């Protein structure tokens, strides 16, 4: 029996920045983290059906079928998805499922997809978080199209707080209120600042931009824990606050090489304890990674 193909995709902790540009284009800037999704695909050339475990991951079957067609292969097979990204929280779990699936299908037949080809496979299924790229990217999530690549982050840690529940990304994007011209201009300026900050590995400026994006977001959608998480960031000496704009997570950005990192994490835990709900700690992806099928 031919061994299954394997594909992996990283998640993202919300977005460093998300909004609308002066030209009206909706965009986000990823914050890639080390947690992710792994897919295994066993190709059965003489079968018709495609199946998936867990069974509710039906969108991944659409990508699997598209990937087989793009590779000029017939048949079916079985897809298995595993990972450590919770659903509906704003960690790109669905996008990571789809990207890992495309990579696993390609690996099963000794093929490969470039990131732009993965975009094409996902387009029209749902908005995507841009996790077919492992570096920081500016991404038109509604069109599933790359805007630009910014490079890799400095060593960053995110202490995340979950407000609870789940957010449907598709429904969230349908209900977004209109963004006025002044705010679109500000988003353009924030993107310029963030582009410079990522390329300069300036963690403090990355934190300031992320905080402002979270503030703008909170003005349009109630985030009950935002004030408390921001206060925790200030008291712990964090770099700033990051939000999952279409999710339930808020986080405090910290420098991963801070000699007081452990104490700062403990302080944030103390400050957020009264909120109830779970906290988690995540590492940003900070180094170049292979972006073709099979990356791990």
- Nearest-CA neighbor of 132 among 37, 61, 66? 37
Contact 29, 18 (CB under 8 A): yes
Global pTM? 0.92
The model's pLDDT over 223-266, given as tens digits with 9 standing for 90+, comes to 999 999 999 999 999 999 999 998 999 999 999 999 999 999 99
Token pair of 116 as six digits: 């732009």
CA of 231: how far to CAs of 41, 225, 294, in Å? 45, 10, 41
d(CA 116, CA 143): 12
Confidence (pLDDT) at 290: 41
**Per-residue pLDDT averaged across 145-159, rounded?**
97
Token pair of 9 as six digits: 């995709």
Residue 195 zone, left/alpha/beta (φ > 0; ψ -120 to 50; rest):
alpha
d(CA 160, CA 282): 8
Contact 281, 188 (CB under 8 A): no
- Nearest-CA neighbor of 37 among 10, 55, 12, 62? 10
Confidence (pLDDT) at 220: 84
Confidence (pLDDT) at 174: 61
Mean residue pLDDT across the chain: 92
> End-to-end distance of the chain based on CA atoms, in angstroms?
23
The model's pLDDT over 25-67, given as tens digits with 9 standing for 90+, comes to 999 999 999 999 999 999 999 998 999 999 999 999 999 999 9
The model's pLDDT over 89-138, given as tens digits with 9 standing for 90+, comes to 999 999 999 999 999 999 999 999 999 999 999 999 999 999 999 899 99
Q: Locate tokens 């909120």: which residue? A: 275
Q: Locate tokens 């990674």: which residue? A: 289
- Kindly tell me if the per-residue pLDDT of 294 is higher than 50: no
Contact 103, 296 (CB under 8 A): no
Vertex 114 angle, CA 109 and 117, to 5°: 90
Residues in the chain: 296
- Nearest-CA neighbor of 265 among 156, 129, 105, 114? 156
Other residues' Cβ atoms within 10 Å of the Cβ of residue 219 = 11
Confidence (pLDDT) at 176: 65
Q: Assign 166 to helix, strand or coil.
A: coil
d(CA 189, CA 288): 27
Element at 78 (helix H, strand E): strand 76-83
Query: What are the residues facing 37 on neighbouring strands?
Result: 9, 83
d(CA 237, CA 72): 54
Token pair of 40 as six digits: 């295994």
């Amino acid at each position: 029996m031919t061994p299954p193909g394997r594909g992996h995709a990283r998640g993202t902790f919300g977005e460093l920045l998300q909004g609308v540009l002066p030209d009206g284009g909706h965009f986000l800037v990823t914050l890639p983290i080390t947690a992710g999704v792994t897919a295994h695909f066993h190709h059965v050339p003489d079968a018709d059906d495609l199946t998936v475990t867990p069974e509710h991951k039906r969108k991944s079957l659409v990508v699997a079928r598209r990937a087989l067609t793009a590779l000029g292969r017939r048949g079916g097979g079985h897809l298995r998805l595993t990972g450590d990204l919770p659903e509906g929280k704003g960690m790109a779990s669905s996008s990571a499922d789809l990207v890992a699936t495309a990579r696993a299908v390609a690996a099963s037949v000794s093929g490969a997809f470039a990131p732009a080809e993965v975009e094409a496979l996902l387009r029209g299924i749902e908005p995507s978080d841009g996790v077919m790229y492992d570096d920081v990217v500016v991404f038109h999530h509604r069109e599933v199209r790359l805007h630009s690549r910014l490079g890799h982050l400095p060593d960053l840690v995110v202490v995340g707080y979950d407000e609870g529940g789940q957010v449907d990304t598709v429904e969230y994007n349908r209900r977004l209120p209109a963004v006025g011209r002044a705010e679109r201009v500000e988003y353009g300026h924030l993107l310029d600042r963030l582009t410079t900050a990522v390329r300069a590995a300036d963690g403090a400026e990355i934190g300031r931009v992320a905080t402002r994006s979270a503030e703008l977001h909170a003005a349009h959608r109630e985030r009950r824990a935002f004030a408390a998480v921001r206060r925790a960031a200030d008291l712990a000496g964090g770099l700033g606050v990051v939000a999952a704009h279409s999710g339930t997570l808020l986080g405090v950005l910290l420098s991963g090489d801070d000699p007081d990192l452990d104490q700062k994490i403990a302080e944030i835990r103390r400050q957020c304890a009264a909120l109830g709900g779970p906290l988690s700690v995540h590492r940003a992806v900070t180094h170049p990674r292979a972006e073709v099928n099979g990356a791990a």
